[in-house]
Amino acid sequence: MAFRYPGVKVMVNALGTPPADVLVECRARGILVGALAGKVKHALAHKHGGVDFVIAQGHEAGGHTGEITTMVLVPQVVEAVAPLPVLAAGGIATGRQMAAAMVLGAQGVWTGSVWLTSAESELDPVVRDKLVAASSDQTARPRCITPFPAPERPTKPRAPARS
């Protein structure tokens, strides 16, 4: 677990509200705790669960948290969890997009895919170049690990689809 690493300052849960024992341990170590939310109900659950901040992650973030776009989700979450700080995520890669998120009420942004194009990325240079060259209408949501976005994940295993 992340507690093995010295100097951890922030812990973020991607699938649901962090468990109470994790929150207690984080508090004891002075670690801030956040959680990703793709719907207002998720953000409210995180707030009631005791997180320090919520990341409103719109559909543009790979569709991992649902179908609501960042532009729609961020102000809804900001209003619902106030005065808890909210970071915006999903489709944010430039300063203008960051400024837009802050106009929507977010206190900052949480970025992801944009870092795949950085010099530090371990991505194959050919793939990196293709990402940089791609236009917004070439975005695809692969289902290589699971056919379900996080909030739609079934509670019971399903039989594989037949082709």
**If pLDDT is split at 50, 70 and 90, which confidence band does 155 have?**
very low
For residues 51 and 68, is the Cβ–Cβ distance under 8 A?
no
The angle formed by the CA atoms of residues 112, 152 and 80, to the nearest 5 degrees, is 70
Rounded mean pLDDT of 22-39? 96
Domain borders along the chain are: 2-113
Q: Tell me the average pLDDT across 136-160.
A: 56
> According to the model, what pLDDT value does residue 156 have?
46
Average pLDDT, the chain: 86
**Would you say residue 159 has pLDDT above 90?**
no
pLDDT for 158 equals 43
Name the range with the highest mean pLDDT among 28-37, 56-65, 140-149.
28-37
What is the structure's pLDDT at 143? Answer: 60
| DSSP calls for the chain | -GGGSTT--EEEESSSSPPHHHHHHHHHHT-EEEEEESSHHHHHHHHHHT-SEEEEE-TTTTTTT-S--HHHHHHHHHHHHTTS-EEEESS--SHHHHHHHHHTT-SEEE--GGGGGSTT--S-HHHHHHHHH--GGG-----SS-SS-GGG--SS--PPPP-
Q: What is the largest CA-CA distance in the chain?
A: 52
Whole-angstrom CA distances from 110 to 84, 102, 154, 163 are 16, 12, 27, 38
Instruction: Quote the CATH superfamily of domain 2-113.
Output: Aldolase class I (3.20.20.70)
Q: What is the pLDDT of residue 115?
A: 85
Residues contacting 25, CB < 8 A, separation 6+: 3, 31
pLDDT tens string 44-91: 999 999 999 999 999 888 666 778 999 999 999 999 999 999 999 999
In this predicted model, what pLDDT tens digit does every residue of 84-117 receive, in sequence order? 999 999 999 899 999 999 999 999 999 988 888 8
Q: What is the mean pLDDT of residues 133-145?
A: 72
